[in-house]
């Protein structure tokens, strides 16, 4: 199978006439290029209109012996929660004579696949090549999920160590990213569960095995399950954050309460001595020894007694 990267009318018409299967991969074509491609390959006007507009949800539209499959691939980035472009919409025109992929941006996974198919001289069925393209797009989510797994683990460690507003902001970003990914993957999973065999039954496609597309469906189920589990983990991070913040606030409140409790009898003693200073200085406190013994000593004994009582109750010391 030959892999093409631009619209050459003579080449495309010649291959269609000779029934030589090819893959045409277009990156950010103009509207005129898309319309010209539709005229050359005889694409349905509604399918061409979808590609001109983009912004389509995953779907499969069959027009006679051709089909338009809209799928969303995953774009890996570091860190994932700050990825401004996590999804790449790809339109796949499939028939017995060709497969055409149209996208707005570079997609490294398809670029690598083109290199692999170009360097490989073996000949396989048309259905196999269609499967490889779709499977490559679907498998592009796995590097994203691997990165999310590491980031969620780091987030949990950071929250346990010291919860800050940065962690809370990261939680919200991860939730939005996971929701965006699931909105793309769940329709693809449902699509492959119901209608993907339609591609295998298109006229002109040499059939290898329907197991190819069932394998893609299995991958989509795995991706959906991982997204659901990561969403639960991120929600758990929210609960962990709030719990740690509440615990730290309780710890601060406990420390302030202990300090206030220690100073409560000290305030009473200083107030008592202050109100009766004339009598005490004339009848009780004579000299430095009496001052240190009754004046300062009573406050030290009071504070030590309160501290010993708190340790006995387990309010201070080891958890």
DSSP 3-state assignment of 167? helix
149 plus 187 within the same structural domain? yes
**Least confident segment among 4-8, 152-156, 234-238, 263-267:** 263-267
Residues pairing with 2 in the sheet: 22
Q: Is 231 within the bounds of a domain?
A: yes
Over 80: is that where the pLDDT of 206 sits? Answer: no
What's the mean pLDDT in 4-24?
89
Position 296 scores a pLDDT of 74
Residue 318 lies in a domain: no
pLDDT exceeds 60 at position 233: yes
For residues 190 and 94, membership in a common domain is answered with: yes
Q: Are residues 133 and 56 in the same domain?
A: yes
Q: What is the pLDDT of residue 122?
A: 63
Last residue of a domain, one of 217, 245, 273: 245
Coil vs helix vs strand at 68 = strand
List pLDDT tens digits, range 90-132. Answer: 999 998 889 999 999 989 999 999 888 887 766 778 888 888 9
Question: Which residue reads 């025109």 in tokens?
Answer: 93
Percentage of the chain beyond pLDDT 90 is: 39
Q: Please tell me the total count of domains within the chain.
A: 2
Residues 6 or more apart whose Cβ sits within 8 Å of residue 237: 152, 155, 156, 159, 167, 171
Q: Measured in whole angstroms, how far is the alpha carbon of residue 70 from the centre of its chain? A: 22
The residue out of 245, 260, 291 marking a domain boundary is: 245
- 196 versus 304: which is more confidently predicted? 304
Q: Using CA atoms, how far apart are residues 206 and 217, in angstroms rounded to an integer?
A: 20
In a domain, 319, yes or no: no
d(CA 106, CA 155): 30
Q: What is the pLDDT, as a whole number, of residue 203?
A: 56
Of the two residues 215 and 278, the one the predictor is more confident about is: 215
Q: In a 3-state reduction of DSSP, which class is residue 316?
A: coil
| Domain boundary pick from 229, 245, 261 | 245
Q: Is residue 140 part of a domain?
A: yes
Average pLDDT over residues 211-229: 90
Identify which of 38-52, 122-136, 155-169, 291-305 has the greatest average pLDDT. Answer: 38-52
Q: Which residues contact 286 (CB under 8 A, 6 or more apart)?
A: none
pLDDT surpasses 80 at 298: no
User: pLDDT band for position 29 (50/70/90)?
Assistant: very high
85 inside domain: yes
Is the pLDDT score of 17 beyond 80? yes
289 and 241 part of one domain:
no
Residue 227 has pLDDT above 60, yes or no: yes
Q: Cβ atoms within 10 A of the Cβ of 30, count?
A: 10
* Residue 259: domain span: 250-313
**DSSP 8-state symbol, 25:** E
Q: Which two tokens stand for residue 93?
A: 């025109």
Query: What CATH number does residue 17 fall under?
Result: 3.30.460.20
95 and 215 in a single domain? The answer is: yes
Round to whole Å and give the CA distance between 223 and 135.
13
Residue 197's pLDDT band (cuts 50, 70, 90):
confident
If asked whether residues 190 and 262 sit together in one domain, one would say no
- Tell me: do 69 and 113 sit in the same domain: yes
Same domain, 63 and 124: yes
Residue 89 shares a structural domain with residue 192: yes
Cis peptide before 79 (omega within 30 of 0): yes
Backbone angles phi, psi at 8, to 5 degrees: -120, 105
- 237 or 261: whose pLDDT is higher? 237
**185 and 122, same domain (yes or no):** yes
Does residue 202 contact residue 67 with C-beta atoms inside 8 Å?
A: yes
Q: What is the b/e burial string over 156-168, where b = at least 16 CB atoms within 10 angstroms of the residue's CB? A: bebbeeebeeebb
- Determine the pLDDT at residue 277: 59
Average pLDDT of the chain is 85
> Residue 105 in contact with residue 54, Cβ under 8 Å?
no
Cα 30 from Cα 151, distance rounded (Å): 38
Paired residues of 27 in beta bridges:
103
The predicted structure's pLDDT at residue 137: 95
CA dihedral for 68, 69, 71, 73, sign (positive or negative) = negative
> Is residue 223 assigned to a domain?
yes
pLDDT, residue 228, reads: 94
Look at residue 34 and tell me if it is in a domain. Answer: yes
Is 187 contained in some domain?
yes
**Are both 77 and 139 inside the same structural domain?**
yes
Average pLDDT over residues 203-227: 80
Whether residues 129 and 116 share a domain: the answer is: yes
């Amino acid at each position: 199978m030959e892999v093409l990267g631009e619209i050459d009318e003579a080449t495309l018409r010649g291959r269609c006439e000779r029934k030589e299967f090819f893959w045409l991969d277009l990156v950010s074509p103009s509207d005129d290029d898309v319309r010209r491609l539709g005229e050359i390959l005889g694409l349905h006007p509604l399918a061409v209109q979808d590609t001109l507009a983009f912004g389509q949800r995953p779907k499969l539209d069959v027009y006679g012996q051709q089909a338009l499959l809209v799928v969303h691939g995953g774009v890996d980035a570091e860190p994932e929660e700050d990825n401004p472009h996590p999804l790449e919409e790809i339109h796949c025109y499939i028939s017995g004579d060709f497969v055409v992929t149209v996208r707005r941006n570079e997609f490294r996974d398809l670029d690598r696949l083109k290199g692999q198919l170009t360097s490989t001289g073996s000949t396989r069925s048309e259905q196999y090549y269609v499967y490889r393209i779709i499977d490559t797009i679907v498998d592009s989510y796995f590097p994203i999920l691997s990165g999310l797994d590491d980031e969620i683990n780091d987030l949990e460690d950071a929250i346990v160590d010291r919860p800050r507003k940065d962690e809370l902001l990261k939680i919200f970003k991860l939730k939005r990213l996971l929701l965006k990914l699931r909105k793309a993957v769940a329709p693809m999973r449902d699509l492959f569960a119901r209608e993907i065999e339609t591609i295998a039954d298109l006229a002109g496609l040499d059939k290898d095995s329907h197991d190819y597309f069932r394998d893609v469906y299995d991958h989509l189920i795995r991706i959906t399950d991982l997204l659901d589990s990561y969403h639960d983990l991120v929600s758990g991070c929210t609960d962990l954050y709030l719990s740690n913040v509440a615990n730290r606030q309780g710890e601060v409140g406990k420390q302030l309460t202990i300090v206030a409790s220690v100073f409560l009898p000290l305030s009473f003693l200083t107030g008592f001595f202050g109100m009766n200073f004339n009598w005490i200085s004339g009848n009780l406190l004579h000299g430095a020894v009496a001052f240190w013994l009754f004046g300062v000593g009573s406050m030290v004994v009071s504070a030590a007694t309160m501290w010993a009582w708190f340790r006995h109750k387990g309010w201070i010391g080891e958890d």
